[in-house]
Amino acid sequence: MNKQPIGIFDSGVGGLTVAHAIKQILPGESIVYFGDTAHLPYGDKSAEAIRSYSKRITEFLLEHDSKVVLIACNSASASAFDYLKKEFENRTIIIDVIDPVVDYLRTRKFDKIGVIGTKRTISSGTYEKKIGETSPDVKVVSLATPLLVPMIEEGFIFDDISNAIIRSYLSNDTLAGIQALILGCTHYPIIKNQISKIFNFNVEVVDSARIVSVILRDVMDKNNLLNDSGIVKDQFFISDYTPYFEKIARMFFEGEINLKKADIWS
């Protein structure tokens, strides 16, 4: 029995897709979530800046007694995962959202896989490198889609504007002939259905939320970290208040949520 919460962080609302999946698979677990809305999007920040943000947020989550920390952000996973593992190796378990997806794809048979994500995630080449190490015969193509995160954060998700932007990106010749598309940003599952429709549901759209949640459950089970106390308390923190964050959080977690602004940068 371990009543400590699972710590989760992202630059904004995207990580809520992962947090929601975790609560579906591990309903008996408490979570403490930090959305760094003051610095979003991470995708146009330097790797050094992302590492700095990620370190401070991880410290904050540990101050709130997190038993494990999940980086629910592809940009932070690509830029800060190895750094955080080294910095906190004796204090907590760090899990990212990229490695579980790469491991999942090893079980599938694809010749060509596409990746869409922020400029930082795509420029890091992390998916190409890691998939190439485990599946060298698979062709991986990547496309930066920088407008999608601010579009989602501003609430333009189910209208003509969002459809036009999404379609413009996905019609890029780079993605021609792909059999699977990795949503290389945890914001993107919010528009997953629109993406699938554009491909006429003929492309497997891979989002990390459920995949990562299963890995998290296995890691916690292996380390005797599962909570069977029946006591659950979820907490949500943001570095800058945005009405849309609260709206999306309430949509995912149905009703009242404990949302607080935390100024951890002063």
Token readout for 58 is 């991880």
Over residues 186-220, the pLDDT tens digits come to 999 999 999 999 999 999 999 999 999 999 999 99
Nearest to 30 by CA among 223, 240, 251, 226: 226
Q: Which of 71, 76, 84, 185 is catalytic?
A: 185
Residues in the chain: 266
> What stretch(es) of the chain map to CATH 3.40.50.1860?
6-96+210-261, 99-208
What's CA 42's distance to the chain center, in Å?
12
pTM: 0.94
Q: In sequence order, which residues have a C-beta less than 8 Å from that of residue 114 and are 6 or more positions away?
A: 140, 141, 142, 143, 174, 175, 178, 180, 181, 182, 203
Fold of 6-96+210-261: Rossmann fold (3.40.50)
Mean pLDDT of the chain: 94
Beta-bridge mates of residue 116: 143, 183
Over residues 45-73, the pLDDT tens digits come to 999 999 999 999 999 999 999 999 999 99
Give the CA angle between residues 46, 237, 235 to the nearest 5°. 135
Q: Mark whether 185 is an active-site residue.
A: yes
Over residues 215-238, the pLDDT tens digits come to 999 999 999 999 988 889 999 999
Q: Mark whether 208 is an active-site residue.
A: no
Candidates 3.40.50.300, 3.40.50.720, 3.40.50.1860, 1.10.10.1800; correct CATH number of 99-208? 3.40.50.1860
Q: Which of 40, 73, 98, 116 is catalytic?
A: 73
